[in-house]
Amino acid sequence: MRVSRRIALAGLGAGAALLVAPGTSAARGSRRVALDVSSPEGRLRTFLMMRGALDEGLITSWMSARYYGVVEDRMDPLFAVVSAVFSRYRKVADGYEAVNFELAWFTDPVTGKALDTFRNPYTNKDCKVPSGGYAPSKIRFGTDLSLRLTREVPGLAVEHEVLPFDMRGDDVWVTERTRTAMTVPGAPKPFRYSESNTFHAKKSDLEKAGAKRVTSEVNFTNVCS
């Protein structure tokens, strides 16, 4: 997990259970702007409002989740994790730039207390538990929703895609998928980390005149090799 969050992800962003948009007074009012998810401009606007913001206001997201070890057809509960991510977005010439900072703790899934050590069920050894999340990092989204890091990480390969929007009544969903492979010196195989984030927001919130961001619920799944 330490490798994935500090190296493999390299600032790709953290999955969250809820993406909160504080200070949405600019979105108030009864006027509507027709939601456009067909043009590149409309897709970029909608995606950024659900994932972040169109202005430089602070965005806060949080996550409460569990990790499992999966070997063949068996899933073993390992530990829980809670985290908070603070982000700012700003418009740049070729899209938007985002800075993210995460605080994270691994916790006991029953008591909720932060863990200092963890008994690995596969090795039966106690391991020191990392904490703290990852340092502030910067990414960019192009006008075509492509993602790139603002600094090169040697040995890191990244695949990223944003799937088509799904709209049903007043509900809008969009899924963002990221796959990474990190070549570690001396390791026989690359370390792989993949995550999927499905953002869910209200169409009526996205269509409010002057809206710069909306509150999103996020379904987050990740896989580490």
pLDDT digits (tens, 9 = 90+) for 5-40: 433 333 344 344 566 655 444 445 567 889 999 999
Distance CA 214, CA 210 (A): 11
pTM value is 0.84
User: Tens digit of pLDDT for each residue in 53-91?
Assistant: 999 999 999 999 999 999 999 999 899 999 999 999 999
Domain ranges of the chain: 2-224
